[in-house]
Amino acid sequence: MDQDSHCTGERELLEAVSRITTSSTTSPSDEEDNQPEAEISCQVRTDNTEKDDTQDCSTTLSPNSSMTTKELQEYWRNEKRQCKQIKLLFEIPSTRIVEHQFSKYVMYKIIILQTGSFDSNKSVIERRYSDFEKLHRNLLEEFSEEMEDVTFPKKTLTGNFTEEIINERKLAFKDYLRLLYSMKYIRRSKKFIDFLTRPELQEAYGCLRGGQYTKALEILLEVIGLQERLTRGNPAAIVPTLCAIVVCHKDLENPASAFEYGEKALSRLRVHTSHRYYIPLLDTMITLAYELGKDFLSLQEKLEEWKTKKDPVRVFTLKELAVREYVR
């Protein structure tokens, strides 16, 4: 009788896991659809059918029916932690007026916070009105339907530098970014991600090409956290940045740090062995592992395995690839 009850309990738990797995791909979007209107001053239609941010995670959910009840419970706890949606908040606390010989404009300081992070993961960037305007035009081209009811603060002929107008735009741009981020297609789009990260990445790669590795590394480490959170559904997207960090650490003679970031990059290429960074990264990691006295034979085996499957081709070094990124 006790054995039958135990088996029944396992079957019920399996059914519960299956139900939760099915519903997990919709719950985050329900939370967003029920977001208080006070947080977003702009209005947008909510009838878009969109893929959920947790779709990539849910595809891995395949609990084995031979698991014990305790193993199933632990399995599901781990999956929920991995699939927990990261949400970002946007604040524009201050501005500064920039004056050049023939131009004058306002720079808006944007602080991007991860919910529940207590400011430990915040990113700080600056953008001007023309940057927002360009983003809006680009998004209208690709997402005309989603952007149909999104308003954008218009230019004024006079008074652009008055405290009143600047404060109005601070609030408008904050609500604008929050609204864009609330729409899954847009927040995952390259144009939105580029708006938040590309200027800093361009500066970092420019420093890297100029041999200013310390400055490049400083910028890359600032932007990598934000870039990772924005591209969570596409782990390979941040591989170029991780590899640029490897190059900087290596040239600054920090092999241990270079190896650490190289491992992070390799973990994201586990199922992307055809990625253009994969072989150059393996080559670099073998060199670093040998220098640090770590196991390099497993890395060497992966390299040899790849070579047997591919035709001999010209492969760039990791540094050669890095300096080609973000060339205008």
Q: Give the SS3 label for residue 230.
A: helix
**CB atoms closer than 10 angstroms to residue 193:** 18
pLDDT at 47: 40
Cross-strand bridge partners of residue 90: 112
What is the average pLDDT score of the chain?
80
Say if residues 188 and 182 touch (Cβ distance below 8 Å): no
Say if residues 81 and 32 touch (Cβ distance below 8 Å): no
Say if residues 85 and 53 touch (Cβ distance below 8 Å): yes
How would residue 56 be classed by pLDDT, with cut points 50, 70 and 90?
Answer: very low
DSSP string across 54-119: THHHHTT----TTS-HHHHHHHHHHHHHHHPPP-EEEEEEEEEEEE-SS-EEEEEEEEEEETTSTT
Q: Which tens digits make up the pLDDT trace of 262-312? A: 999 999 998 898 899 999 999 999 999 999 999 999 999 998 888 787 766
Mean pLDDT of 117-133: 86
Both tokens of residue 149?
A: 């009811």
pLDDT score of 197 more than 80: yes
Amino acid at 237: A
Lowest mean pLDDT among 45-49, 111-115, 137-141: 45-49
Rounded to whole angstroms, how far apart are CA atoms 236 and 140?
A: 27
pLDDT at 214: 98
Ordered domains of the chain (ranges, CATH): 88-188 (3.30.1520.10), 199-324 (1.25.40.10)
Both tokens of residue 55?
A: 């779709």
Most confident of 56-60, 213-217, 231-235: 213-217
Both tokens of residue 141?
A: 């081209």
**CB atoms closer than 10 angstroms to residue 93:** 11
Lowest mean pLDDT among 18-22, 39-43, 55-59, 214-218: 39-43
Mean pLDDT of 128-149: 95
Lowest mean pLDDT among 32-36, 179-183, 278-282, 290-294: 32-36
- pTM score above 0.85: no
Q: Where are the beta strands (DSSP E) in 142-277?
A: none
pLDDT score of 199 more than 80: yes
pLDDT at 70: 65
pLDDT at 67: 60
Mean pLDDT of 176-196: 95
How large a percentage of the chain has pLDDT more than 90? 58
Amino acid at 24: S
pLDDT at 233: 84
Distances (CA, A) of 131 to 146, 148, 233: 20, 20, 26
